Amino acid sequence: MYSPTRRTFIRQAACAALGASGLVGTIWDLRKLNAATYPVAGDYKALVCVFLYGGNDGNNVIIPHDADGYAAYAAARSILAIPQSALLPIILPDGDGRDFGFHPKLPELQSLFNQGKLALVANVGTLVGPITKTEYLSGGAAVPPELFSHSDQSVQWQTSAPNEVRIGWGGRTADLLSSMNGNTNVSLTISVAGTNVFEAGNAVIPFQVSPTSSFGLAGFSGTANANVRLQAFKELLAQPHQNLLEQAYADTVTRSIADNEMLIAVPPINTTFPNTDLGRQLKMVARFIGGRTNLGMQRQIFFCAVSGFDTHSGQLTAQTNLLTELNQALSAFYSATVELGVEQQVTTFTASDFGRTFRSNGFGSDHGWGNHQFVLGGAVHGGRLYGTFPTLAIDGPDDTGQGRWIPTTSVEEFSATMASWFGVADSDLTTIFPNIGRFANPNLGFLS
């Protein structure tokens, strides 16, 4: 007869009760239970989310390269069609039987894909549960609320829980695994792109930093006089403060000064980053990774973002510029992880509100649903397309209208694969992803 241990019983009871109202408390309880389950590890891992706000048009990221497939693509896309001769061929495994090319402004990502460092996960999207076209059209199955809304869908991508509370799966993961970083004062979650839902948790508070400078105090340049002033300021901060707000301020500023001193002590990174918004963000992320030992970090989660992907008009020019920025910044960042010797321990992934319609609106494309995402890193089983590629046909089996593809892989499956690699135990996946049991593939296999 099965007789669970006390810890197993409590964990199963907590997970059984998991819901919108109990999710935050359950994560906090499991974090305390898992203090022994997740000891401080001897290895280091980082997840880097690059969110493409506005809904990147994945239909022009990877394109059929064979004659028949390209002809159907060109007919549907009209003015948006990329010339077949400009596509960058990708090498798929023997026997795959498919022929695709990348957008012409993704040459470095093409190279990383062909080297096996980059994977593409096809037709990922927000789902309440698996759904067919018939069920969608008849209203016979639940769909995510406010399906084609930018604000709602970007939040649902970042929470991986369409019907749950608005804390992110990165934040829930950080709540669960923060003990792996020991007693460090630096947050496990760091944003170089401002406030986001992805890193919002219960216990762990995201640390926000500018991508263009350190987070030290202005006016302390390192001169003799400046160092005297800084020391005096530190001594003032160290004084006891009766007012709670004053004490909180003193503690926060003291930690920031200490953390900045540790970070600036890290040797500079030699990799050249592009002087673009995303390039500067990822360069700052690389600095933090380079300072992981000084900062006492075993696990880190980063958030970066690029806006401008809502291409209802002027798409060819706008997306060309945006994909150029993405291509160059991701390539430089991967090179930096190689320089730092952590390419196997850092996984970078893209996410976006939704895909876009396959059919052009004449000047651009409109809000879609399923979309294609990149995963980059030394631990990635790259050079492959994961998930099920949609049938690229207007009114085809995957089209809900105008070429809005029903996702064949859920955000939960995509995200849970990375959370498992990051260190979340299989038994705790439902804590981070309460709907994961509704889907067939809690691990898509693109990471080892």
Question: pTM above 0.85?
Answer: yes
pLDDT at position 74: 97
Average pLDDT over residues 166-188: 92
Integer CA distances (angstroms), 104 to 110, 170, 195, in order: 9, 32, 32
Mean pLDDT for the chain?
A: 89
CATH number at residue 329: 3.40.720
Band (266; pLDDT cuts 50, 70, 90): confident
Indicate whether 186 pLDDT > 60: yes
Instruction: Flag whether 100 is in a domain.
Output: no
More confident residue, 311 or 214: 311
Instruction: Flag whether 248 is in a domain.
Output: no
Instruction: Flag whether 391 is in a domain.
Output: yes
> Over the stretch 135-166, which tens digit does the pLDDT of each residue have?
999 998 999 999 999 999 999 999 998 776 67
Instruction: Flag whether 434 is in a domain.
Output: yes
Average pLDDT over residues 382-397: 96
Indicate whether 19 pLDDT > 50: no
Q: Which range among 95-104, 258-267, 417-426 shows the weakest confidence by mean pLDDT? A: 258-267
Instruction: Flag whether 168 is in a domain.
Output: yes
What's the rounded Cα separation, in Å, for the pair 281 and 89? 29
Judging by DSSP bridges, how do beta strands 346-352 and 371-376 pair with one another? antiparallel
Band (42; pLDDT cuts 50, 70, 90): low
Band (411; pLDDT cuts 50, 70, 90): very high
Average pLDDT over residues 200-213: 90
Instruction: Flag whether 43 is in a domain.
Output: yes
> Over the stretch 333-344, which tens digit does the pLDDT of each residue have?
999 999 999 999
* Residue-number span of the structural domain to which 296 is assigned: 23-60+118-213+271-438
Indicate whether 231 pLDDT > 70: yes
Instruction: Flag whether 177 is in a domain.
Output: yes
Q: Which range, 251-255, 293-297, 402-406, has the best average confidence (pLDDT)?
A: 402-406
Indicate whether 18 pLDDT > 60: no
The structural domain count of the chain equals 1
> Over the stretch 218-229, which tens digit does the pLDDT of each residue have?
777 778 888 899
Instruction: Flag whether 225 is in a domain.
Output: no
